[in-house]
């Protein structure tokens, strides 16, 4: 059996029990599952998505109809989807999900967040460059699309490391290949357009890279 890791955990308030679980796999399958389908969960757990042999679950978020999901690729592309019955229909626990986006060669998914239409996004690259963009600057796309470029890299060897939803108290923690953790207050990062490169946020060693970005 392949090794398994916890990818997300939630403390559910009573009001959140009516929300849905939005899941994204490394091969780009996306799925919306009602939390009510988990009401009979046991100590052994239950299956929430069926995976092909070469796929694995990478992201899970809580959301509700009327909100949006944004997917990010290592190539700097973002895909903004409406969370509704047309783009993300509810599926049963054993369904595989639908293809969310098409990945290019050597490109991988590096983030999936859910948010409302007024939020902004913090983007950071492996080589320590970052910026914020307004969610309104991204067009709403259809499931299966390629999204749009949202990050211009200073070096051709750089790629997007992750995304975080902005907010007044949100801190982005960035983990590097050397085991260092660097934090920045998201709202202190300047808002740029899609065609801008952003600013150098983290000074890294010659071969050091940012490998994970998490918002708190």
pLDDT one-digit tens code per residue, 72-114: 999 999 999 999 999 999 999 999 999 999 999 999 999 999 9
The mean of the pLDDT values for the chain is 95
Question: Among candidates 200, 186, 190, 112, which has minimal Cα distance to 154?
Answer: 200
In DSSP terms, 68 is beta-bridged to: 82, 115
Question: Among candidates 166, 130, 165, which has minimal Cα distance to 150?
Answer: 130
pLDDT one-digit tens code per residue, 99-152: 999 999 999 999 999 998 788 999 999 999 999 999 999 999 999 999 999 999
pLDDT one-digit tens code per residue, 5-59: 999 999 888 777 789 999 999 999 999 999 999 988 888 999 999 999 999 999 9
Q: Domains in the chain, start-ordered, CATH in brackets?
A: 14-215 (2.120.10.90)
Cα 157 to chain centroid distance, Å, stands at 22
- Cβ neighbours of residue 53 under 8 Å, at least 6 residues apart? none
Task: Classify each residue of 114-133 as buried b or exposed e, where b means 16 or more C-beta atoms within 10 Å of its C-beta.
Answer: bbeeebbbbbbbbbbbbbbb
């Amino acid at each position: 059996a392949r090794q398994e890791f916890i990818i997300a955990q939630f403390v559910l308030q009573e009001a959140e029990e009516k929300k849905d679980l939005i899941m994204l796999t490394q091969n780009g399958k996306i799925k919306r599952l009602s939390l009510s389908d988990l009401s009979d969960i046991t100590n052994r757990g239950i299956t929430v998505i069926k995976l092909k042999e070469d796929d694995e679950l990478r992201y899970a978020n809580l959301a509700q109809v009327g909100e949006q999901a944004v997917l990010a690729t290592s190539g700097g592309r973002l895909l903004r989807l409406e969370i509704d019955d047309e783009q993300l229909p509810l599926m049963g626990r054993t369904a595989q999900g639908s293809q969310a986006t098409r990945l290019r060669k050597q490109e991988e998914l590096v983030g999936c967040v859910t948010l409302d239409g007024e939020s902004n996004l913090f983007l950071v690259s492996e080589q320590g460059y970052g910026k914020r963009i307004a969610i309104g600057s991204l067009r709403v796309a259809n499931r299966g699309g390629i999204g749009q470029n949202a990050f211009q890299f200073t070096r051709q060897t750089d790629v997007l490391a992750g995304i975080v939803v902005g907010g007044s108290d949100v801190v982005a923690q960035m983990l590097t290949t050397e085991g260092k953790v660097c934090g920045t207050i998201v709202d202190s990062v300047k808002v740029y357009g899609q065609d801008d490169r952003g600013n150098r946020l983290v000074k890294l060693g010659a071969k050091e890279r940012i490998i994970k970005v998490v918002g708190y």
